[in-house]
């Protein structure tokens, strides 16, 4: 049976205003009076500060122990599908993933509780500086993009859901080991109308059957549990220092938003195994040795499989240009920046026109032959300039 939904409030003991978590600290801060309140390190016997791995088989069978699931008030963004977790009496907000206005409902969803959280290290001003520096390096971006970031509009701090997977593996494989060797090859060329015999060294490969056994224990294989973020952007925010994970405490979420997971445990497990299998394939290739490897089969036995639901910190901003949303992400632990960049058609057009003008002037002043162009009757051909994918 799902746990009852908890309503978390953190009033300041000095003035009653709301407290928020201070990035990089172990305390809550009041923006009104500046009072700081430590996050308690000890709690009553009904909860535990130590996070533990959960049994994967029980998780996939929806048979987790009481207390590991909860009813969470969430609403789905109609644009990007993000599941935004809601606390308090909020009834309207803006989606932190795509800047779409969202009207909240009162429904709840049964979700696996987070076991751990990676607290924010970077403050919002520090994250915004990282983003502005990154944007300043973008060629052909609209002028309004940098102006948007400099106007002081605050970024959204969001805890993004991830799964981590652990497993012990033992794999038997078959394949082939390729070893290079060189042979002298004779061939004939024609020089000044005469045939000449020459030799050259050609690389060949001998293949030998190979089989063997490899084993590896995996710890904290990370899989994003959100469909709201483009996977390439999220993956490029790595690496995360998961050794700094703290046992989940709702105090770390004070003043921030959290997204409920939209990638199921089963789907996350499929991707987790795929990631592990790629590492096992590399282990097999190393075990085969030689100069080249062919892997025919890998049979892996999986054991002691566990998982965690964790929350990782991301600062986000969304910018709309020509009716399309572009997202910018800053790793709230390391400051790594990733984003979707808009292109200014006007800037690209002016740049192309400028290049064409320079080439035309050079042709006029120097002559097409000296520039290496193929001259025709008058003037020369201007080369085609491909700006596709140019930064």
> Which pLDDT tens digits describe the chain residue by residue (391 residues)?
334 444 566 677 777 677 778 888 777 887 777 778 777 653 433 344 467 899 999 999 999 988 888 777 666 776 766 666 655 444 446 666 666 666 655 566 778 999 999 999 999 989 988 888 877 666 555 555 556 555 666 788 999 999 999 999 999 999 999 999 999 999 999 988 889 999 999 999 999 999 999 999 999 999 999 988 888 888 899 999 999 999 988 888 888 888 889 899 999 999 999 999 999 999 999 999 999 999 999 999 999 999 999 999 999 887 666 666 678 899 999 999 887 755 445 445 555 555 666 666 666 676 655 555 444 444 444 343 333 333 3
Residues 264 and 143 occupy one common structural domain: yes
Domain that holds residue 352: 345-391
Q: Among positive and negative, which fits the CA dihedral 337, 247, 309, 303?
A: positive
- Taking the C-alpha atoms of residue 70 and residue 72, their distance in angstroms, rounded to an integer, is 6
> Are residues 150 and 190 part of one domain?
no
Considering just the CA atoms, what is the radius of gyration of the chain in Å?
29
Cβ atoms < 10 Å from Cβ of 105: 12
Whether 220 and 360 share a structural domain: no
Same domain flag for 386 and 241: no
In a domain, 101, yes or no: yes
Regarding pTM above 0.85, the answer is no
Q: With the CA atoms of 159, 160, 161 and 164 taken in that order, what torsion angle do they form, in degrees rounded to the nearest 10?
A: -100
Looking at the structure, do residues 199 and 327 belong to the same domain, yes or no? no
The answer on 308 and 197 residing in a single domain is no
Decide if 175 is inside a domain: no
- Residue 24 placed within a domain: yes
Contact of 336 with 82, CB cutoff 8 Å: no
Q: Is residue 133 a part of any domain in this protein?
A: yes
Burial class (CB in 10 A: 0-12, 13-18, 19+), 102: buried
Same domain membership, residue 86 and residue 60 = yes
Do 222 and 370 have their domain in common?
no
Quick check: is 14 in a domain? no
Helix (H, G, I), strand (E, B), or coil: what is residue 166? strand
Pull the structure tokens for residue 298: 């890998």
- Are residues 195 and 288 both part of a single domain? no
Same-domain check for residues 89 and 192: no
Whether 30 and 155 map to the same domain: the answer is yes
Number of separate domains in the chain: 3
Inter-residue contact 285 to 277 (CB < 8 Å): no
| Residue pointed to by tokens 């994003």 | 224
* Claim to verify: residue 197 and residue 219 sit in the same structural domain: no
- Cβ atoms of 156 and 176 closer than 8 Å: no
Whether 13 is in a domain gets the answer no
* Residue 230 in tokens: 């483009």
Peptide bond into 100 cis (omega under 30): no
DSSP 17: P
């Amino acid at each position: 049976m799902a746990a009852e939904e908890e309503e978390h409030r953190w009033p300041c003991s000095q003035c009653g205003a709301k407290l928020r978590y201070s990035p990089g600290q172990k305390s809550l801060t009041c923006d009104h009076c500046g009072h700081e309140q430590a996050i308690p390190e000890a709690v009553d016997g009904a909860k535990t500060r130590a996070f533990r791995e959960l049994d994967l088989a029980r998780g996939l069978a929806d048979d987790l122990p009481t207390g590991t699931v909860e009813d969470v008030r969430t609403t789905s963004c109609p644009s990007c599908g993000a599941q935004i977790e809601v606390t308090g009496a909020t009834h309207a907000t803006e989606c932190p993933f795509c800047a779409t206005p969202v009207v909240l409902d009162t429904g709840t969803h049964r979700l696996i509780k987070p076991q751990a959280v990676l607290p924010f290290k970077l403050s919002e001003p520090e994250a915004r500086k990282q983003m502005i520096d990154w944007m300043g390096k973008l060629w052909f971006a609209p002028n309004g993009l940098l102006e948007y970031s400099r106007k002081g509009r605050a970024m959204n701090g969001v805890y993004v859901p991830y799964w981590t997977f652990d497993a012990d593996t033992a794999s038997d494989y078959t394949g082939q080991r390729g070893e290079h060797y060189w042979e002298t090859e004779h061939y004939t060329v024609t020089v000044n109308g005469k045939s000449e015999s020459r030799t050259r060294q050609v690389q060949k490969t001998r293949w030998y059957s190979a089989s063997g056994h490899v084993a590896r224990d995996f710890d904290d294989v990370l899989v994003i549990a959100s469909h709201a973020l483009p996977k390439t952007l999220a993956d490029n925010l790595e690496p995360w220092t998961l050794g700094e994970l703290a046992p989940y405490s709702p105090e770390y979420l004070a003043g921030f938003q959290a997204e409920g997971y939209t990638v199921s445990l089963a789907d996350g497990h499929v991707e987790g195994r795929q990631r592990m299998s790629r590492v096992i394939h590399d282990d097999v290739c190393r075990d085969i040795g030689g100069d080249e490897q062919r892997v025919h089969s890998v049979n892996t036995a999986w054991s002691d499989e566990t998982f965690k639901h964790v929350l990782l910190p991301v600062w986000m901003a969304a910018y709309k240009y020509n009716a399309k949303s572009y997202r910018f992400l800053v790793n709230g632990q390391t400051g790594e920046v990733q984003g979707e960049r808009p292109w200014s058609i006007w800037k690209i057009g002016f740049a192309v026109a400028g290049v064409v003008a320079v080439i035309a002037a050079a042709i006029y002043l120097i002559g097409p032959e000296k520039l290496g162009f193929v001259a025709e009757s008058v003037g020369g051909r201007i080369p085609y300039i491909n700006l596709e994918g140019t930064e």
